[in-house]
Amino acid sequence: MTRNRPGPRRRRQLHKDREKLRQLMARAEKENAQAASSANTTSPAQDSAPDADKNASTVNLGGHGIRPRAKCKHRHLPDRHYYQRSDSMDLRYLAFQRRINHQVDDKVAEASAVLGTQDRRNMCLLSHLSRKVDRQLEQTRRELGYMRQAVKRGHGMLALFEEENDKLRSRLQSMEDLVDRLEIDRKRRRRHEERMRCAVSMTEEELFALP
Query: Quick check: 122 pLDDT over 70?
Result: yes
Query: Quick check: 202 pLDDT over 80?
Result: no
pLDDT value of position 74 = 62
**On the CB side of 16, how many CA atoms lie within 13 Å of its CA?**
6
pLDDT value of position 24 = 92
Q: Residues 67-86: pLDDT tens digits?
A: 667 766 666 655 555 555 66
Query: Quick check: 46 pLDDT over 60?
Result: no
* Choice among 32-46, 80-94, 98-112 with the minimum mean pLDDT: 80-94
**Residues paired with 61 in a beta bridge:** 64
Residue 55: count other Cβ atoms within 10 Å of its Cβ: 19
Q: How far is CA 17 from the centre of its chain?
A: 63
pLDDT band at 141 (very low <50, low <70, confident <90, very high): confident
Q: Which pTM value belongs to this model?
A: 0.31
The CA distances from residue 22 to 27, 59, 90, in Å, are 9, 14, 44
pLDDT value of position 48 = 46
Q: What is the mean pLDDT of residues 166-177?
A: 85
Q: What is the mean pLDDT of residues 140-161?
A: 82
